[in-house]
Structure 1
């Protein structure tokens, strides 16, 4: 167990850091027009965050002890294919979720 004082120091420090990061963008430059090159790069943020969150759970899932899981790998492939075909993130997520549920049922 962690000491209660250390826990509250960590929580307070993370809160201050989170606030400072958000204040940098919203408070300091929130009312200014951003340069076009920065806006162009910010458009790709969502496209890069989702794969970065999903890839470790597909390639090294903790639930299987780090072993590759065929159901997760096939669901990721289906989600990628649906994202390329439909160009809608919700369609890719729904297709991946459906594949993650259906592949174990089909393969037994």
Structure 2
């Protein structure tokens, strides 16, 4: 267990770091226009973050002790396929969720 002092130091440090990162773009840049190359790269931030969050849970899920299983791989494939075909995020999430719970129901 972590002691209270260390916990609060970590919480305050993460809060300050988060504030600083946001302040750099909003406070220092302000109303000045950003370069076109930066705006072009910032468009892909959200697209890169979601797979970075999901991939470890598909490839090394804690529920299976870090071993990939067919249910999660099938759900990821279904979500990716539906997302590419329909270009609809909600439909992709729904397809992945239905596939995951369907496969877990069949395998367990």
TM-score relative to the length of structure 2? 0.92
The secondary structure found in structure 2 opposite 1:34 is: coil
Q: Which residue of 2 aligns with 1:92?
A: 92
Q: Which residue of 1 aligns with 2:77?
A: 77
| Alpha-carbon distance in 2 for matches of 1:99, 1:107 | 12
Q: Which residue of 1 aligns with 2:22?
A: 22
Detail structure 1 runs of 4+ shifted over 4 Å in the superposition: none
Gaps of 5+ in 2: none
Gaps of 5+ in 1: none
Map 1:1-108 to 2 at 5 A.
1-107=1-107
Post-superposition shift, 1:107? 4.8
Post-superposition shift, 1:87? 0.9
- Mark the CA change 1:101 to 1:33 in structure 2 (over 3 Å): closer, same or farther: same
TM-score relative to the length of structure 1? 0.92
| Alpha-carbon distance in 2 for matches of 1:5, 1:46 | 34
Q: How many residues align?
A: 108
